[in-house]
A and B are shown apart, each in its own frame.
Chain A
Amino acid sequence: MNEWLYVGLFFIVGLIIPVGAIGIGFLLGPKKPNPIKQSTYECGIEPVGEGWVQFKAQYYIFALVFLVFDVESIFLFPWAVRLGQLGMFAVVEGIIFILILVAGLVYTWRKGMLEWA
């Protein structure tokens, strides 16, 4: 049988437990809504504007850099698994792979894209 079936069961049980807990909480708790209670929390003062504030573009840059390194690391996993059985050739190959990307990190760094400004 496919072992992922059990992982799927974990997903299902992992959802049932919080749904059950929140459901019990929903049933037991009082329900007395009023406009003040339901308003957005802003440390006691009236909420100003909407909750969607604009963000620094920096978040996007870091997400982009992360994406590249995420993909890189995942490429390296099959390499790491077989490294014990392979010779120097594979090691050099992996090191070149990493160095090319570290060059990218250095470029990003030198361009000042890693500064939070």
Chain B
Amino acid sequence: MTGEQIFFLIVGIVTLISGLMVVTVRNLIHAALWLVATLFGVAMIYAILNAGFLAVVQVVVYIGAIAILFIFAVMLTRRQAAETGASVNSNWWLGAIAAVATFAGLFFLLKSWSGFSKTAAAIPSGFDAVNQLGDALTSANGYVLPFEVASVLLLAALVGAVYLAFNKK
């Protein structure tokens, strides 16, 4: 096993355990903090894959903004955040079976795909993913339209959020 694989296994296990904690702990703030750990684990996986830009974006957007938003939302709900009742109901084993079955199905499906066992080509030296991304986002033959549509999407999100908050008043 190479060092990369060992790192991946450790990070993957930690991420999975944190993910499990998110849905099992009863305190909502603890759940949010475990979610942060999960998201950080995902960022580490990006880093292991040499996708530095994605790793940093993961931390900035998910930990720096979305996790904070979650914690603010939990703090706003106040009493409901208290530990009342179990975090699972009597159907938890059905959910577990469905999850395992979905995972197994996907695994066997992907296993027959030829790309699954292929080793990725080595990254050529001097390759700069950020430059490639910049070119793709700005060239007329690339992803100009999705780039602009993303802006409209963000605008829609902002307008929606403002409308919801405005309505509540």
Contact = CB atoms under 8 A, between A and B. Distances in A.
Do chains A and B directly touch (beta carbons under 8 Å) in the complex? yes
Interface string B132-161: 011101111000100110111011011101
A71 B138 contact: no
Interface residues of B, number: 47
B55 A4 contact: yes
B166 A111 contact: yes
A60 B78 contact: no
Contacts of A103: 155
Contacts of B72: 55, 59-60, 63
Given A60-B76, A70-B64, A104-B158, A82 B134 contact: yes
B158 A107 contact: yes
Contacts of B44: 8
Contacts, number: 129
B interface majority secondary structure? helix
Contacts of A79: 134, 137-138, 147
Contact of B162 (A63, A75, A100, A107): A107
B141 to A, nearest CB: 11
A41 interface: no
Given A60-B76, A100-B152, A90 B138 contact: yes
Interface of A: 2-4, 7-8, 52, 54-55, 57, 59-61, 63-68, 70-72, 74-75, 77-82, 86, 89-90, 93-94, 96-97, 100-101, 103-105, 107-108, 111, 113
Top 8 A-B pairs, shortest CB-CB distance: A82-B134, A78-B134, A4-B47, A104-B158, A90-B138, A78-B133, A100-B151, A64-B161
24 contacts: A2-B4, A2-B48, A52-B78, A55-B75, A55-B76, A60-B72, A60-B73, A64-B161, A64-B165, A65-B161, A67-B65, A67-B69, A68-B158, A74-B57, A75-B151, A82-B131, A82-B135, A86-B139, A100-B152, A103-B155, A104-B155, A104-B158, A107-B158, A113-B166
Interface of B: 4, 44, 47-48, 50, 52-53, 55, 57, 60-61, 64-66, 68-69, 72-73, 75-76, 78, 81, 130-131, 133-135, 137-140, 144, 147-148, 150-152, 154-155, 157-159, 161-162, 165-166, 168
